Structure 1
Amino acid sequence: MEGISAAGATSESRRYTAIADAELLLYGPSHRPRWPLPPLPAGVSPALISWVAAEAVKIQPWVGSIGLSKMPPFAHLHFENSELGPAACISSGQAMTPQRVMQLLNQGQRFGERLRHPLVLAECVPGGTTTALAVLCGLGVPAHDLISGSAIHPPMALKRDLVRQGLQSAKLSATPSAQELLAAVGDPFQAFATGLLIGSLKSRQPLLLAGGSQMATVLALALNMVSTKQRRLLCKQVLIGTTAWLAGEVLTPSGSKRASLVELLALLENHFDVSICALATGLRFQGSRHLALRDYELGHVKEGVGAGGLALLAQLRGLSLERISQACDNAMDQLLESKRKQQESPRDPAP
């Protein structure tokens, strides 16, 4: 749908944003990609920040394919039949079949149960803040003015209309289950990640949810599905890590000076009677040499592909913010040089 996301300048380019971001995260900015990064209205893919931070703390990312229209041309974890593709538009009230939701929940739960080390969970879901809003509203959380997006001015009215249409079309009960909500207005990542969080209760491994409202929504779904005792245990295992740009954004028209993500997390704490721990990295780009990075300071892009959580992890591991920022500038140099070479000698994207 046009205008729903800035993770790609057009609806067509957003079909391969996730693959392009994953390729950058895995291979870095100097790599000649099979799927080049789609053009953005402003800024640069947050996967650049994620790659810099992952390199700094020597993390080797794993990429999982869920809900893609094309398969990645590189090694990846495979969680469902590739023919299923993306979910349907949430306005239909039938985003996924109940069978697909259960299969993804079960796959995620098995993955979470088998964890043997702490996990950083990240995502790239163009339009994912809209499905997040829909699910939270379905859970009874009044989040309409608290969910941001990748655009400098998120399309709040469009998001609200889609959510209203979807929830009306779904004809859900007054207190729908998490599974029913996912099938009606959710997305494949939410289903898998919710199962993963529930499964982590068995493995007892710490989870860094690298993101903002989408990760808060996944946590809300998991809290909805477990017992009161398990809710508190899960929140002790989970840390939400995000960027300073998202953590400082105020969307509410009411004049509140508290950041919208902070307001959202407070609503979830009250709704589920839990305490949620969230931190933001101090990474900023006011002094960057590159306009695409300085665009983050204007409100473009803000977060994605685990950028905030991974930068936070690098910061907690002792890297200075100046060093991380400089590394991002250097990575931009490499990315621009790679793009120049691609333009001089273009090749077709991967089939």
Structure 2
Amino acid sequence: MVDVIGNFSEKISGKRSLFLLVIATTDVSLIPGITIAGATEELTLFTPAADAEFLVLGKCKVINSVPVTPTGIPTPAIITKASLSLLNIPKLVVDAGSKIKPNIPYISLNGEPGKDIRKRSLDPITAERIIENGITLGNELSKNFELLVIGESIAAGTTTAMATLLGLGYDAIDKVSSASPENPKEIKRKVVLEAIKDLPSNFIDKISKLADPMLLGVAGITVGFKGNVLLAGGTQMTAASAIIKEINKKKMNDIGIGTTRWIINDKSSDIISLSKEVGVNLSYVNLDFSASKFDGLKAYERGYVKEGVGAGGSSLLATLNGITEANILKRIEEIYEEIRV
């Protein structure tokens, strides 16, 4: 585990923890070529629910298989599932606005799926409701936990993250990551530049046009929570942090992003400069799959997937609690062996 910005790891070791997975969808994932988080554009709408089911049940109900990329590389939920099993901490799924609902118990923020950001993602009333309900949930969870670890699952979320960061005044063009080793920057840039045309000046109007429901849900929960929050994700969590900063700047002292080595080393994105600009703590876990016996896991070392479903933050927390990266990999391989078809 390495602290890149700040020393957030010192604040969160040994805390009574809860893992939350916040899921949502937008119609941005239906734009051809913008994401590989699903075997087809239509299946990207099933990925968040399938990730949630796999994390909780070890199998999926909304689709007949575990979520994979078109080339068969497994969801990063496998990393999170392994890490949480070693930590033995509870987990909850929160739906901020998904088109496909998971067939497991979950908490709803009474949001709606996002539309295409080139027109408008959400209406302002829905955006405010997601944030307010998130704040209420975060406040309630404060009564039993000292640390929240919040992961996300939303296809094409890096595109809405880039739009949100730009809309809030940050230098984010081409700095967000991708689940593919070939980051589709031209498609993302074209979509985002169209989305930020004629942008309103009001904060809620801006984020309701550009942000996805996941970002709003994560921001609301974080603001409402009284303790520390580890935002378990990649460049999308810099956008969530930017929204948090707008709502309650003081909360930035209590939060940090926990990601993977693959995101830190990704030459096609720049989480370090984004985190510095937003002013959020940043740490990463040193997971390495190059010695894995499975090609599907070795693909992570070639730039596939990199992060998602809380993979970086959950495995980072595991290392802070004395679990080695080698033991995490061993557990990941055990789970991978069970799910391979």
Shared fold per TM-score greater than 0.5: yes
Secondary structure in 1 matching 2:153: coil
Cα shift readout 1:216-272 (whole Å, capped 9, x = no counterpart): 11111111223xxxx2x32221121001100111226xxxxxxx1111112223xxx
**Cα distance, 1:32 vs structure 2:** 6.4
**Cα distance, 1:64 vs structure 2:** 1.2
Per the alignment, residue 228 of structure 2 pairs with 206
- The 5-angstrom pairing of residues 195-234 of structure 1 reads 195-200=220-225, 203=226, 205-226=227-248, 231=249, 233-234=250-251
- The 5-angstrom pairing of residues 312-327 of structure 1 reads 312-327=316-331
Secondary structure in 2 matching 1:66: strand
Per the alignment, residue 184 of structure 2 pairs with 155
Per the alignment, residue 349 of structure 1 pairs with none
Per the alignment, residue 27 of structure 2 pairs with none
**Cα distance, 1:99 vs structure 2:** 0.8
Question: Is 1:248 aligned to 2:276, yes or no?
Answer: no
Distance (Å, rounded) in 2 between the aligned partners of 1:66 and 1:135:
17
What is the RMSD computed on CA atoms of the aligned residues?
1.5
Distance 1:32 1:182, change over 3 A: closer
Per the alignment, residue 275 of structure 2 pairs with 265
Per the alignment, residue 165 of structure 1 pairs with 194
Secondary structure in 1 matching 2:118: helix
Distance (Å, rounded) in 2 between the aligned partners of 1:265 and 1:8:
28
Distance (Å, rounded) in 2 between the aligned partners of 1:107 and 1:32:
27
Question: Is 1:110 aligned to 2:139, yes or no?
Answer: no
Structure 1: which amino acid aligns with 2:91? Answer: P
| Gap runs ≥5 in structure 1 | 253-259, 270-275, 340-351
Per the alignment, residue 39 of structure 2 pairs with 9
Distance 1:32 1:279, change over 3 A: closer
Distance 1:32 1:95, change over 3 A: closer
Cα shift readout 1:263-319 (whole Å, capped 9, x = no counterpart): 1112223xxxxxx22111111100001111000000000000000000001111101
Per the alignment, residue 117 of structure 2 pairs with 90
Note if contact 1:182-1:190 (Cα within 8 Å) is conserved in structure 2.
Answer: no
Note if contact 1:13-1:38 (Cα within 8 Å) is conserved in structure 2.
Answer: no
Cα shift readout 1:144-166 (whole Å, capped 9, x = no counterpart): 12111111111111111111111
Question: Is 1:186 aligned to 2:211, yes or no?
Answer: yes
Per the alignment, residue 306 of structure 1 pairs with 310
Aligned residues: 306
Question: Is 1:71 aligned to 2:101, yes or no?
Answer: yes
**Cα distance, 1:325 vs structure 2:** 0.9
**Cα distance, 1:33 vs structure 2:** 4.1
Secondary structure in 2 matching 1:123: strand
Distance (Å, rounded) in 2 between the aligned partners of 1:34 and 1:187:
22
> Percent identity at matched positions?
29
Question: Is 1:284 aligned to 2:284, yes or no?
Answer: no
Range 46-55 or range 144-153, more displaced: 144-153
Secondary structure in 1 matching 2:257: strand
Distance (Å, rounded) in 1 between the aligned partners of 2:215 and 2:173:
19
The list of structure 1 runs, each at least 4 consecutive aligned residues, that deviate by more than 3 angstroms after superposition, is 31-34
| Gap runs ≥5 in structure 2 | 1-30
Note if contact 2:61-2:103 (Cα within 8 Å) is conserved in structure 1.
Answer: no
**Cα distance, 1:60 vs structure 2:** 2.1
Structure 1: which amino acid aligns with 2:240? Answer: V
Secondary structure in 1 matching 2:149: strand
Cα shift readout 1:78-114 (whole Å, capped 9, x = no counterpart): 2216xx4x2111111x110111011111101111222
Per the alignment, residue 3 of structure 2 pairs with none
Note if contact 1:288-1:294 (Cα within 8 Å) is conserved in structure 2.
Answer: yes
Question: Is 1:25 aligned to 2:55, yes or no?
Answer: yes
Structure 1: which amino acid aligns with 2:153? Answer: C
Structure 2: which amino acid aligns with 1:327? Answer: R
Note if contact 1:47-1:304 (Cα within 8 Å) is conserved in structure 2.
Answer: yes
Q: Give the TM-score normalised by the residue count of structure 1.
A: 0.84
Match 1:141 to one of 167, 170, 175 = 170
Structure number having the greater helix percentage: 1
Structure 1: which amino acid aligns with 2:185? Answer: M
Structure 2: which amino acid aligns with 1:103? Answer: R
**Cα distance, 1:330 vs structure 2:** 1.2
Note if contact 2:228-2:255 (Cα within 8 Å) is conserved in structure 1.
Answer: yes
Distance (Å, rounded) in 2 between the aligned partners of 1:316 and 1:2:
40
